[in-house]
Amino acid sequence: MVSWSIETLVDLRTVLACLFFIISVYLMFKLRKKKSLAYETVTDTSLKSIETHWEQLSKDCAFENFDISFQEKSEELNLARGMVGFHFRIPLAMAELNDHGRNRLLYEKSAFFVYQYEAGNLALRSLCDAICGSYNGASILLRSVLELDLKGAFYQCLTEEKYFSNAGVLKKDEKGKKLLEFLENLFDYSPDTQLNLGKTSIGIFDKLESVIVEREYQVSPSVIFKQLESWDLFEPIKNPKKNIYNTLYSKLSGDVHVMLDRTDLGKNLLKDPESSFKTPKVDPQFLQEYLDNLRDVIDAGTVLTFNMLKGNLKDKKIKDSLRQLIAEFSPIICELPYFQECLEYNRVTDSS
């Protein structure tokens, strides 16, 4: 039998401590070497390394779903891309018309056009996300597109006296009233300010810079929508509050506020639990739901855009430019019922 003396135990503890130290040093150097190699891999700019990173990124973003989505919904996706292009070509077509070397319309509607430009970029990003199978992310961006349309029109109208002097909805809202009072005080202090904003509307963001980030001046989307409706900017859509805001905007808000059944994972858990945690996959049902929402956003936004600019149709050049655009995109317009009704209501396609 082995006899364990105090001296033996002390020697054993010393040996174990030495072994532990050696193993710790070994593991530390091994880990540092591994990190160094990983860093070199990430920062390696060689063609081979770039191709490797691109392949991994393509896989992470599910770019392979592009082909699958177009196989499932080729005609619908081409139509959707055309809708996005048409909606944002309307203001551009009008703005391209010069008036004695100065683009008058571009300056007058610049507050609106800035938001339109941003909305166009987000609409394309949204469509790309949907094609890749990220339907929740696509819908979040889609609500932003609708909100950009609403806010662009709202801020533009605040620069135009005919709307500003008839802002009854804002006067009944606490935040809206504060915003109006701020602008009224500004116009009273500097009478030329409102006149200058009528010529270059984007200047309103400079005037509102000190308050636009303050919560007490941030008018809610629902109030903005009611005010735009009161200004007849959704004409001739019947009951726009119900058909656009309460239905479309509220539905997309479910994606923004990440209600579980609106997330991609939540949808998959209900439909196909076994593949819920795999790379995003194309689902024809979810893709079609997104495309229907995209159509409705573009349709409502196009009506809003037209009504924002229809006062300029007295200019024959602008009206002819719009007619040319309508003729070019006639297959797209057939899929936009609200905008079709808007054109008929305003007799834009008449030869007169």
Q: Is the omega angle on the peptide bond into residue 236 within 30 degrees of 0, that is, cis?
A: yes
pLDDT in tens, 49-84: 666 766 666 666 667 777 878 788 888 989 999 999
More confident residue, 312 or 160: 160
Predicted confidence (pLDDT) at residue 118 exceeds the cutoff of 70:
yes
Tokens read off for 322 = 């719009």
Helix/strand/coil percent split, the chain, to 5: 80, 0, 20
Q: Where are the domains of the chain?
A: 6-58, 63-346
CA–CA separation, 160 and 169 (whole Å) = 16
From CA 113, how far away is CA 148, in angstroms rounded?
Answer: 10
Q: Does 328 have pLDDT greater than 60? A: yes
Q: Give the relative orientation of helices 110-131 and 284-309 as an angle to the nearest 10 degrees.
A: 170
Between residues 1 and 269, which one has the greater pLDDT? Answer: 269
Spatial separation of the C-alpha atoms in residues 31 and 156, rounded to whole Å: 59
The mean pLDDT of 257-282, rounded to a whole number, is 64
Mean pLDDT of all residues in the chain?
80
When mean pLDDT is compared across 160-169, 177-186, 211-220, 340-349, the lowest value belongs to: 340-349
Maximum mean pLDDT: which of 32-46, 47-61, 65-79, 176-190 = 176-190
Which residues make Cβ contacts (< 8 Å) with residue 228, sequence separation at least 6?
150, 153, 154, 157, 234, 304
**Contacts of residue 170, Cβ cutoff 8 Å, sequence gap at least 6:** 176, 177, 179, 180, 219, 223, 227
pLDDT band at 191 (very low <50, low <70, confident <90, very high): confident
Q: Using pLDDT thresholds of 50, 70 and 90, give the confidence band for residue 42.
A: very low
Q: How many CB atoms lie within 10 A of CB 244?
A: 25
Q: Using 50, 70 and 90 to split pLDDT, how confident is the model at 159?
A: very high
- Which residue is associated with the tokens 């006899």? 3
